[in-house]
Chain A
Amino acid sequence: MWTFLHKLASPPHFFSYAKGLIPWFAWPGYALLIYGSFAGLFLAPMDYQQKDAYRIIYLHVPAAYLSMMAYVIMAVAGGIGLIWRMKLAHAVAASAAPIGASFTFLALATGSIWGRPMWGTWWEWGDPRLMSELILLFLYIGYMALRGAIDDTAKADKASAVLALVGAVNIPVIHFSVEWWSSLHQGPTLVRAGGPAMDTSMLYPLLAMILGATLVFVSLLLRRVRSEVLQREQRTRWVKALVLSPKGGR
């Protein structure tokens, strides 16, 4: 069992099997995204309260969900890397950060676009979810800034893992504090989409989008981890052999 896991986590081994895994995540993921966006934009009925504006949830909800998911992956991978000194885990954490930050940005952008017709403003300060996403974006920025500031990769891995863990412990507290903060002032109270009384013709495309986006996320992550591994191991024998082989590493 342990030797199997050990082999699974060895960089050269990972590099070769991850390549085979990517299409298994990417193709179903893109297919689901295409179905979800078509069904969400054209087949699902209009919301009687929000009109067509609600349709942005098909982008917003998966992005918001993945923005947090990526942070959790980053923190867990960092923790594994710290405790078991697994190099691959650090490569995963390093690769998850920019993807997570992009999804966070997407969630903020779509939330803001949604807010324009709903609240009549691009940025509603009183909305706790947007505020939490913004703080999450700041956390990602801090994480990537710390990584960028440390030249030695091994040191950057460990330091940023500590930061990600501290951040992960703080995220629920941040969420709670922002909820409390916004509950104190009488902001616009609109029922956000995604409530329990959602028609199945609206819900299925959303579920398809969430699942599809997750699969695409995994394929993107694998792709990034592969190139990260290649860069980190550039001095090793297996990478040199790979580059010199007739296929040129592809």
Chain B
Amino acid sequence: MNGAAGQLPGLLVCLRATLQRELLLVLRRPGDMLNPLFFFAMVCTLFPLAMGPSEEQLAFAAPGVLWVAALLAMLLSLNSLFLSDHADGSLEQLLASPQPLVVLALGKTVAHWLTSGLPLVLLSPALAMAFRLPAGTIWVLMSALTLGTVSLSLLGSVGAALTVGLHRGTALLSLLILPLAMPVLIFGARTVSLSAAGDTYSMGLFALAAYAVGALSLAPFATAAALRISNE
């Protein structure tokens, strides 16, 4: 089984088990993963309906539209990150375990990205083509979305941990996270529109990557601290 009896299982064992547990849970309830994805597609559809079907206008607005929709879809899925664990008492068990909470929080956040960020990235080329984005821009969009959604998952996990167990937590989560997420939106959408216009966009990708690295190294600690506070 997991290491020798009597010793605390290693961090990687624990991280892998957390990931496995979360993915299994999503498999049992695929709606949790699919709903934000459908939401993403639907929000993207709203814009052509609202703006009219002019291809030129749509292609111009596409980077912004895709990014705003992705941001909102991530926000929607973040709400449930710690909610069910809090409701069934398993979060308290995680807090009472000798394993570092940072590792458990990181595991849950990685699982969140795999089940909500990654599907958005994979769906985005289809929407990009529908919006008539140039073919060369699509991989830029995908890499920007990958880096951006990683940051959003990490940043959002802090907000989700702060608001878990509060009434009206959903609206509050958006209030907390949206202003913090603005750099990601700016870098992400701008990178894609620069690339679509044929300008140099590497600066935006670097900034997104730097943000993701920063978030990866800081956010899990803030999430762990916030979880302890929320469960007092």
Contacts and interface: CB of A to CB of B under 8 A. Distances in A.
B176 interface: yes
Contacts of A139: 179-180
A169 B151 CA distance: 14
B192 to A, nearest CB: 13
A122 interface: no
Contacts of A162: 158, 162, 222, 225-226, 229
A177 B208 CA distance: 10
Nearest to B230: A159
Contacts of A155: 229-230, 232
Contact of A177 (B163, B178, B183, B230): B183
Interface string A117-160: 00000000000000000010011011001100110101100110
A169 B204 CA distance: 19
Contact of B179 (A135, A165, A176, A181): A135
Contact of A146 (B155, B163, B194, B214): B163
A173 interface: yes
A180 B166 contact: no
Interface string B151-166: 0000100100011001
Which secondary structure dominates chain B's binding surface? helix
A184 B195 CA distance: 13
Contacts of B222: 162, 165-166
A6 to B, nearest CB: 24
Interface string B203-228: 11001000100100011001001100
Contacts of B225: 82, 162
Given A146-B172, A149-B166, A167 B203 contact: no
Category for how many chain A residues contact B: 20 to 34
Given A169-B218, A181-B190, A145 B182 contact: no
A166 B180 contact: yes
A30 to B, nearest CB: 33
Nearest to A158: B229
A26 B29 CA distance: 61
B229 A159 contact: yes
Interface string B191-204: 00010000000011
Given A146-B162, A181-B186, A170 B175 contact: no
A178 interface: yes
> Which of B176, B207, B214, B230 has most chain A Cβ within 10 Å?
B176
Contacts of B207: 176-177, 180
Contacts of B175: 138, 141-142, 145-146
21 contacts: A138-B178, A139-B180, A142-B175, A142-B179, A145-B172, A146-B175, A149-B166, A150-B166, A155-B230, A162-B162, A166-B222, A167-B179, A174-B182, A177-B182, A177-B183, A180-B186, A180-B187, A180-B203, A180-B204, A180-B207, A181-B186
Interface of B: 155, 158, 162-163, 166-169, 172, 175-176, 178-180, 182-183, 186-187, 190, 194, 203-204, 207, 211, 214, 218-219, 222, 225-226, 229-230, 232
